[in-house]
Amino acid sequence: MILTADSAVAQRTSRRKTANGWHTTFIGQNRNTLQEGDPVPASDCLYPMAFLVEKEPGAVVHPHFHQADQYQVIVQGTGRLGIHDVASVAVHYTDAYSAYGPIVAAEEGVAWFTLRNAWDPGARYMPDNRRHLREARAKYHHREATCGPLPPLTGPELASLTATTGVAVIAETADGLGTWRYTVQAHDFATGPDPSRGGGQFWLVNAGSVAVDGGALLPVQSCIFVAPHDTALRLQAGPAGADVLCMQFPKRACD
């Protein structure tokens, strides 16, 4: 179940203004797109979700948690996430029921991808939901992992690549959580880690373009999801090369 989402198509067809900023759906349904009467996906099984959030200067998202594991990837602007200063491209991972925040946009605003491998109905804000967070501690422990900022390679930097490389930027854990950065020469191929080691992978194009299985080139900010039972993703860089992130979720009971 390899899914792809072309950023140009998503921006053209799915970008919507909401009360909390701009929202663009890339993969899956979420609380902003689920229509009344639509069945709610089961929360205990694989369900990839990817969407882009754009916040205006000075916007604040108060501390909260989610019922699903998630990655947030800062792709534009600057700000603060909890105690971390963030800029493009910064990766922030939290386990389910791990409170984090606030997220504060700086003067130019901030935009990030939210990536999940399971359904989530939305944020549960603190301190109102502190009791629910404490109750979840019997099953879930607090975990965060971060890296970056990792500025995307420029055109000249991509053109000067002399080898295709893949480097861990969040070291893989025993349960499969991990993040890798691949820099790929023009027209060359890169193969990702074995998806069966984790609970699904999201790939994000930071610079250049890539193609999957001979398909069309996917431009910057396009997403790919690889399920745990899929073979390792093999992608090909476009004529300008590519700078790509692979973010792997930890294993869960339903994976």
Residue 152 tokens, joined: 């995307």
Could you read off the pLDDT of 4-36 as tens digits, one per residue? 999 999 999 999 998 888 999 999 988 778 777
| Average pLDDT of the segment spanning 189-200 | 97
Strand segments, DSSP code E, in the chain are: 3-5, 15-18, 21-27, 49-55, 60-61, 64-65, 70-81, 84-87, 90-94, 103-116, 124-125, 144-147, 165-170, 178-184, 189-191, 201-212, 223-226, 234-248
What phi, psi does 5 have (nearest 5°)? -135, 115
Confidence of residue 224 (pLDDT cuts 50, 70, 90): very high
pLDDT at position 70: 97
Question: Where are the CATH 2.60.120.10 domain residues in the chain?
Answer: 10-147, 155-248
Q: pLDDT at position 83, please?
A: 85
The residue type of 156 is P
pLDDT higher than 70, residue 253:
no
Domain topology for 10-147: Jelly Rolls (2.60.120)
Which of the four pLDDT bands, split at 50, 70 and 90, describes residue 237?
very high
Distances (CA, A) of 47 to 43, 69, 110, 115: 8, 11, 26, 11
Could you tell me the two tokens for 118?
Answer: 């399971």
What's the CATH code, domain 155-248?
A: 2.60.120.10
Question: Is the pLDDT confidence value at 254 over 70?
Answer: no
Sign of CA dihedral 176, 126, 100, 46: positive
